[in-house]
Structure 1
Amino acid sequence: MRDRIGATRNPVTSVDPEFSLPTADDPISLAGPPPIRVMIVNYNGGTDLARCVEALLAQTMPDFEAVIVDNGSIDGSLDGLPADPRVTVLRMGKNLGFAAGNNQAAAGAATPWLVMLNPDAFPAPDWLELLLDEAALHGDCVAFGSTQVMSADPGKADGLGDCFSPYGFAWRGGCRKPLPVPVPAGESFAACAAAMMIRRDWFEKLGGFDERFFCYGEDVDLCFRLRLAGGRIWQSNRARVAHVGSATSGGAHSSFSLYHGYRNQIWVIAKNMPGPILPVTIFTYLPLLLLRCLLLKRPGMIWVVLKATFDGLTGLAPFWADRAELQKTRVGAFRIARVLSWSPMALIKRRAKLV
């Protein structure tokens, strides 16, 4: 159901195998539609959603359109949202998940850029303006991450670029650590989809988010596929958002978050990790997983992680099947290896890595 426009859009479909990926050098025309479509996927976002939309409407770069996909919220979070002709609300009637919700929001877009924004993320007034400025400065990059600070404690980072280790674990760089001065900028492995900008043509040709993930890890998977196809990602130290984090899923350490995070990272590895690096992952992942289980503060969560691991492994077959096509056309393994976080201490300390 659409609040402002007629028919419901179809989701992003899979990649046409005969359609080659665009290159970073392909020109983008800014004539016609606005440069940006902002996509917000809401599920019982409470008052955070209204705060998010208010911050969006206060942007110094007003030339954008926004699509809010509501995944069957029952908390009244859509009530009383600021009225604005740039904003369309799509009511799905059920919880499609973050991945499918964003694909619905992206479908039919004509804007050169797509921007994901979580309903619990509150952008600074110049956020969109600075993201576009980063795109102009770093034309060889096709996706951009934002500096995320903790909403409850802006002196601490919520994420300074998503990291991935050859040992199979992903994390938001610098999460919950004091915000460094100056905040670093550079090329990151991945951009966190809580506040991420990507070229629409790349998003579409990559097939959008993998909806089998439902939520958690789908942004790492998308960025991994982007890198396998030769794309680069820039982490901005200027475009900023304040982020609550996992506000609609019970918190970062809820059983829901842990389950989907640990299950999905197995699927990310199976699909994407280049063959020359994969043996390192295979021989280190399970020992490190067991170690992380022992360090969990709530013993009951160990069973959640073990269940997630079991389901990830037993559900591996279709992702392994996808691997053949991805690896057949990927860039050299060294280009992936250079942006992975090889230091075990980086994994333990959740350090950011920018190159």
Structure 2
Amino acid sequence: MDLSIIIVNYNTIELTKQTLHSIFDKKYNFIYEVFVVDNASTDGSVDMIKTEFPQVQLIENNQNLGFSKANNLAITLAEGKYILLLNSDTVVLEDCLSKSLSYLDAHPEIGVLGCQVILKNGQLDHACKRGFPTPEASLYYILKLNKLFPNSKRFGQYDLTYLSDQEVNQVDAVTGAFMMVRRGVIDEVGGLDEDFFMYGEDLDWCYRIKKAGWKIIYYPEAKIIHYKGASNKKKKVKIVYEFHRAMYLFYKKHYNEKYNAFVKGLVYMGIGIKLAISTVVNLFKKRGGHDDQGKPKDTK
């Protein structure tokens, strides 16, 4: 088996159907399998998959286990030389999978490959090539200095604005919306950290993989469309909470011993303040009926 594709679904029946069609409607020169892990959807997703995509290996959970646990369930069953984590709100464009596999085969030092991710408005999803969110990088990002000085390596170190979107580059992390990982890497560093319910698990995985000596590559020759925000109009309280909890978990796990008490205090205080502000803003948006175009990983 060359490739195992894993999709986590949670009440995104039409988006998941679109994603599966974008895979199965193409012909390939490699052997692959597709897993869909359903986190107790109530929108008919399971019946749709059984009826329209009987070739899918369907895992039905009786509760929402989150993104990390759901993916790990399929990873343990997957037989592919490479494992692809793919969001349920994406469309795989022509030759994306073939090009990614060929590039990984030609470069055995690469542990993780991410493709170019295009949003529905045609712009780049900057999460597809990122630096790690160190306190310094996060500060510049919050102050939007990356937008004022996009060509600066210092100010653009989180979303790597100084790197060309059209060139292959080694990066710190790629998005879990499309993350192709070498099976041997997973055997070495382990699966996704299940402490992360949603958000942050892709950054954490990339951090561990890079720490183990593997390269993480942004490969723009392969492309997908990401309908980011299409699956939810308003963020639920749990989504806002889990996003900020992931920030806390990542810092505590990887940076807690690297910085002094003053820096750590500022970081954790900043996360708490941001959580409070985001919660209040989200409540006002719900009352006002405005659409929220936030990250769609609540579909996990």
User: TM-score w.r.t. structure 2 length?
Assistant: 0.76
Partner of residue 244 from structure 2, selected from 262, 287, 298: 262
Cα pair 2:118 2:224 within 8 Å, conserved: yes
Offset from partner CA, 1:34-61 (integer Å, 9 cap, x none): 2100001101012001000000113342
Identity %: 23
Cα pair 1:123 1:240 within 8 Å, conserved: yes
1:173 aligned residue: 159
| SS of the residue 2:14 aligns to | helix
Between Structure 1 and Structure 2, which shows a larger proportion of helix residues? 2
* 1:195 shift after superposition: 0.8
* 1:75 shift after superposition: 0.3
| SS of the residue 2:131 aligns to | strand
1:5 aligned residue: none
RMSD (CA atoms): 3.2
1:51 and 2:18 aligned = yes
Once the two structures are superposed, the pairs formed by residues 311-326 of structure 1 within 5 Å of their partners are none
Task: Go from structure 1 to structure 2 and tell me whether the alpha carbon gap of 1:254 and 1:158 turns closer, same or farther (over 3 Å shift).
Answer: farther
Task: Go from structure 1 to structure 2 and tell me whether the alpha carbon gap of 1:200 and 1:297 turns closer, same or farther (over 3 Å shift).
Answer: closer
Aligned-partner Cα distance in 1 for 2:240–2:53? 37
Task: Go from structure 1 to structure 2 and tell me whether the alpha carbon gap of 1:289 and 1:83 turns closer, same or farther (over 3 Å shift).
Answer: closer
Q: Write the letter of the residue equivalent to 2:109.
A: D
* 1:181 shift after superposition: 7.4
Runs (5+) with no aligned partner, structure 1: 1-33, 303-355
Aligned length: 263
* 1:254 shift after superposition: 4.8
Cα pair 2:244 2:275 within 8 Å, conserved: no
Cα pair 1:60 1:129 within 8 Å, conserved: no
Offset from partner CA, 1:133-175 (integer Å, 9 cap, x none): 2213432111111211112x1244353313323217499838x
| SS of the residue 1:241 aligns to | strand
Q: Write the letter of the residue equivalent to 2:240.
A: L
Runs (5+) with no aligned partner, structure 2: 142-157, 284-300
2:129 aligned residue: 161
Aligned-partner Cα distance in 2 for 1:194–1:98? 11
* 1:257 shift after superposition: 2.9
| SS of the residue 2:175 aligns to | coil
2:212 aligned residue: 229
Aligned-partner Cα distance in 1 for 2:73–2:260? 33
Cα pair 2:72 2:192 within 8 Å, conserved: yes
Cα pair 2:4 2:33 within 8 Å, conserved: yes
1:94 aligned residue: 63
* 1:65 shift after superposition: 0.4
1:218 and 2:187 aligned = no
1:3 aligned residue: none
Task: Go from structure 1 to structure 2 and tell me whether the alpha carbon gap of 1:276 and 1:80 turns closer, same or farther (over 3 Å shift).
Answer: closer
Q: Write the letter of the residue equivalent to 1:41.
A: V
1:305 aligned residue: none
* 1:129 shift after superposition: 0.5
Q: Write the letter of the residue equivalent to 1:214.
A: F
1:71 aligned residue: 39
Aligned-partner Cα distance in 1 for 2:259–2:229? 31
| SS of the residue 1:147 aligns to | strand
1:299 aligned residue: 280
1:245 and 2:214 aligned = no
| SS of the residue 1:68 aligns to | strand
